[in-house]
Structure 1
Amino acid sequence: MIPPDTPNTPDTLDVSGVPAVLRVQDLVVTYGQHRAVDGVGFRIARGESYAVVGESGCGKTTLARTVLGLLRPAAGEVALEGVRLDQARGRDLRALRRRVQIVFQNPFAALNPRMTVARLVDEPLRLAQPDLTAAGRAEAVSALLASVGLADRFLGRRPHELSGGQCQRVAIARALAMDPVLLVLDEPTSALDVSVQAQVLNLLADLRQRRGLAYLLISHDLGVVRRLADRIGVMRAGRLVEEGPAQQVLHVPAADYTRALIAAVPGRGRAALVGGAEAGDEAGSGAAGGPAPGGGARADPLAKPAPATGAAAVPASELSAPSSIGSSQ
């Protein structure tokens, strides 16, 4: 279980009436004749975390690249803080891009191996705050590292001298240096060791709470989605087939495709997601709804699941990980 004092808002966050940081409407992105994104629309409010889930090739990455301004849509709108990103050009586009940053899946590939941590975080600061003195930038770099749980002793290290979790913290600090309102999280923990995944998730939850950040989470890991997302959009073949609050989508899915995604999660993880059978009952059992060991019938965890209460359940991969956000792992 997540400790009660761990930042966790998906069950309670109310964004009604909160202005949208990101608004996507009737978005179409094509590669030749193929519609990679086909009529997608959603909004993300300030301080909200919105997850897009689906199998590989469904259009998640194309959607994220369009939100970042790296791809031009064939039709539809992408607006960041009310300004049409899909229509911006030149200096206006560069200014908008600073307000939306990305945390990549592989932190080792995202960082220049020849740069020290100090230079890696200082580089975006030079763009975001060109009037800062050298001393001011050094102080800002130190503060950014502290905000992600890294001490000054890491300033002179290079990426190969860091663990995966430490590299991802540096990548998050780089993104924060641009003072964004929206972070695109592209599978932010999938390349990390199991023992540090929960630490990075706790860090992201804490940063969102303290800074009022909005997140667009791209993930296939429903456990990560359950931990971070307020709302979920389920994507298939370029279209959103279901959208709603995280609790509703995971516990009472409306679309057959969503049910299939949940059913594909291994037993213990699925039990944590839907709040159904105990993990011990899941272990070694057959398909959902099949007979339990010993001949008794086992309840289908996707059928009429019990409503969740309290802190969100975490997948088995997170249960053994420390919860402190201050760790340098």
Structure 2
Amino acid sequence: MLFEKIVRPALYRMAYHDPELVHERTVAALARLSRVSPALRAIEKVYRTDDPVSVLGLRFPNRVGLAAGMDKNGHALAAWPALGFGFVEVGTVTRHAQPGNPRPRLFSLPATDAVINRMGFNNAGARALATRLAADGKPGVPLGISIGKSKVTPLDEAVEDYRFSLRTLHPYADYFAINVSSPNTPGLRALQDRAALAELLAELRLTSGALAEEAGRAPTPLLVKVAPDLTDEALAELLGVCLDHGVAGLIATNTTLGRDGIAAGEAHLAAETGGLSGSPLTARAREVVRFVHEETGGGLPIIGVGGILGADDAARMLDAGASLVQLYTGFALHGPGLVRRVTRGLAGRRY
């Protein structure tokens, strides 16, 4: 099969000396594949599993989505549904185009089933993504757009930075993920504090409402993406702000600054700065999802992400209270077979 010959080698060799180059080549290959409809249909027959569910006022073909970070600039949007994903989240995108942090900034830990990254929101900017979506169209599944703060923007001007991206991309997003929890943009996590988050959410809700009224449709759901490193007290305070400002849901969680669970043979990589994702995050991400679910009485939809490496991990995340799940590191390390295993493993279950 074309996909197996072109893409699979890159996906399964993330551990070699330049995983970011592998990532770039993989997305580029999938972007080329996106333009070949017969190939997409053939791949879809192998990988896609439909098990529809309604969340956030949207209809999802299945509960398994692609997390932000894999296709930041939306180059391969037609390929992801063919690989079995029930929704796609692009970004994180910022108001200003930016190169991100210096390389190397992505480290594969195959023995740990993990990745450390300090990418720093490298992306072509909100306008470039809007131009691409206007030209190429959206995928055939719900599209989430993750928005964040530009590195050059002072923290006290962050609100306008987010508002610009929301306004620019509003015609194309089925939901927005408000990323205030990446560890790789200096000062960003301070936006999770009560006062800063309240100001940000209030302004984004006003902007979203005005844009929706102008377009004659319902407001686009706004979700907040949280860090796994918050204490229960801090997380409860954040949830209070989210509920006060009518946030539609939460994405739990982002990557962690912790380094527990790294295999002995890869311990030297623990000194690399950045966020850790994959297997070491599995239990903590599930704990955060359970806490959010219990704290809100199940009233706030949750997208669970972090350390989902099989159907059992996804099922436990849903049992903890998530409505949907996302894959990133597991997909990067193990390829599209993981999507098929997870979607088929969840098919027919009721949560």
TM-score interval for Structure 1 and Structure 2 normalised by the shorter chain = 0.3 to 0.5
Higher strand share: 1
**Larger RCO: 1 or 2 (CA < 8 Å, sep 6+):** 1
* Largest Rg, 1 or 2: 1
Higher helix share: 2
* TM-score, reference length from structure 2: 0.34
* TM-score, reference length from structure 1: 0.35
